[in-house]
A and B are shown apart, each in its own frame.
Chain A
Amino acid sequence: MASEKGVMLLDFWVSPFGQRARIALAEKGVEYEYKEENLRDKSELLLKSNPIHKKIPVLIHDGKPICESLIIVQYIDETWSDKAPLLPSDPYQRAQARFWADFVDKKVFECGGKLWKLKGEEQEAAKTEMIEILQILEAQLGDKKYFGGDIFGFVDVAFVPFTSWFYSYETCANFSVEEVAPKIVKWAKRCMERESVEKTLPDPKKVYEFVRYLKKRFGIE
């Protein structure tokens, strides 16, 4: 493995974090080998490549592993820098992009998890939180085509995988993303017109089936 050339991605089909890497690789036109991991029986390769966190995604480039999805996306952007830049060239704009990608990282997944894991008052509180998060992101997007402006960029890559979870969030917590953040929904549709996104994101109904499977497994009803 150590001297093997090429690009491999260790991933799990529904993971929004893995999808970030897949979208970035597709935007750059990089060919790679995709390896689906069984998260209940992680491969030796995964455990060896990410001994600290033991998580997907892991990008393995010429035998060297890179972990953590936003770090992977930046690595992809810096390594295949001749095409489709994901981060702007201006340092202040780059800092803005990193801030908002970090905001998505810290807020969306965890709050989203609460929406399907919790019930009653706790779920209501999570719903209020999610609506606030979506509205903050909507304000940041404004009337731009993408978070990156005219260019599909780092923040778009960071956030767009969560759009296939909107149906699950809405169904579990009884609210409408379109009602609270219509610009985000329009943005999601524009992103889906890109081949990299369209070919990567799973059907929201399949994501919901997966959420229902998790609820059953963890005895949540």
Chain B
Amino acid sequence: MVASAAVRLFGMWASPAVRRVEWALKLKGIEYEYIEEDLSNKSSSLLEFNPINKQVPVLVHNCNPIVESLVILEYIDETWKDNPILPVDPLERAKARFWATFVDVKCREESRKAFFMEGEEKEKAIENLQVQLKALDEELEGKKFFSGDHIGYTDLAVGWMTFWLGVAEEAAGFKANYDVKFPNFSRWIKDFLAEPVIKDNLPPREKTVEFFRAFKQLGSCTKVNQK
């Protein structure tokens, strides 16, 4: 076990990108010190460790900062080699990275629009999101998890959709209807959320919904400062 002072994680309780890193750390059995950031009043440490984006999560390992949650996941996998989360084969790694990028860029964009916008634009975003969910549903055909029999990099990357998409739906009054339309995806959500590392490491739902409701009311077009 690594001494806790050697690994620090700067995060924010409601952030899915931060949880993604925590899930990876816990899967690997890595001990770490967690530092909660007030994003309306960022600490000097956070600004020093991530001067470019000034966002959470930031992993600091032996005083070296690593930022961007997907970059952090790969760093964790390469540094602590037990319980690998990425496959060994280059083609499988490329596929894993493809789905992670797809979800982080495309699905997040449509979810953001469905969350913040109203009327026709909201409807269009929900439609686009459903096309994306269909692709994810097809990818899960014949597999328990995206990564196979056990959760891995792709599951951790897509994992925000298992909880925060539902939160966004409740907070902003829309439904992507994946429980009705996409059986593989719905089944994967249940299996993912049942994993101990995940189940024991989610923010409280009510509090998160309230947080997102307040965030929507701010009328801001940028999401919570997270990557």
Contact residues of A with B, CB < 8 Å?
Answer: 52, 61, 64, 66-68, 71-72, 74-75, 78-79, 91-92, 94-95, 98-99, 102-103, 136
Contact = CB atoms under 8 A, between A and B. Distances in A.
Interface stretch (B39-47, B65-73, B170-178, B202-210): B65-73
- Interface centre among B72, B97, B135, by most A CB within 10 Å? B97
Interface residues on B, range: 20 to 34
Given A66-B91, A78-B93, A92-B64, A71 B75 contact: no
Given A78-B90, A98-B71, 10 more contacts: A68-B101, A71-B97, A71-B98, A94-B78, A95-B72, A98-B68, A98-B74, A99-B67, A99-B71, A102-B71
A162 B75 CA distance: 27
Contacts of B180: none
B93 A91 contact: no
Nearest to A76: B90
Interface string B9-36: 0000000000000000000000000000
Interface string B53-91: 000000001001011100110110011000000000011
B101 A71 contact: yes
29 contacts: A52-B135, A64-B91, A66-B94, A66-B98, A67-B98, A68-B98, A68-B101, A71-B97, A74-B94, A75-B93, A78-B93, A79-B90, A91-B75, A91-B79, A92-B61, A92-B66, A94-B74, A94-B75, A94-B78, A95-B66, A95-B72, A95-B74, A98-B74, A99-B67, A99-B68, A99-B71, A102-B68, A102-B71, A136-B52
B163 interface: no
A218 B201 CA distance: 49
B93 A74 contact: yes
Contacts of B94: 66, 71-72, 74-75
Nearest to A92: B64
A106 to B, nearest CB: 9
B102 A92 contact: no
Chain A facing B: main interface SS: helix
Given A98-B71, A102-B68, A102-B71, A75 B135 contact: no
Nearest to B79: A91
Contacts of A92: 61, 64, 66, 75
Contacts of A75: 90-91, 93-94
B75 A103 contact: no
Contacts of A64: 91
B226 to A, nearest CB: 15
Contacts of A94: 74-75, 78
A69 B135 CA distance: 20
Contacts of B98: 66-68, 71
A95 B64 CA distance: 11
B73 to A, nearest CB: 10
A95 B71 contact: yes
Contacts of A52: 102, 135
- Which 9 pairs across A and B sit closest by C-beta, in order of nearness? A78-B90, A91-B78, A95-B75, A75-B94, A95-B66, A98-B71, A66-B94, A71-B97, A79-B90
- Interface centre among A61, A64, A71, A136, by most B CB within 10 Å? A71
A77 B90 CA distance: 9
Interface in B108-138: 135
Nearest to A75: B94
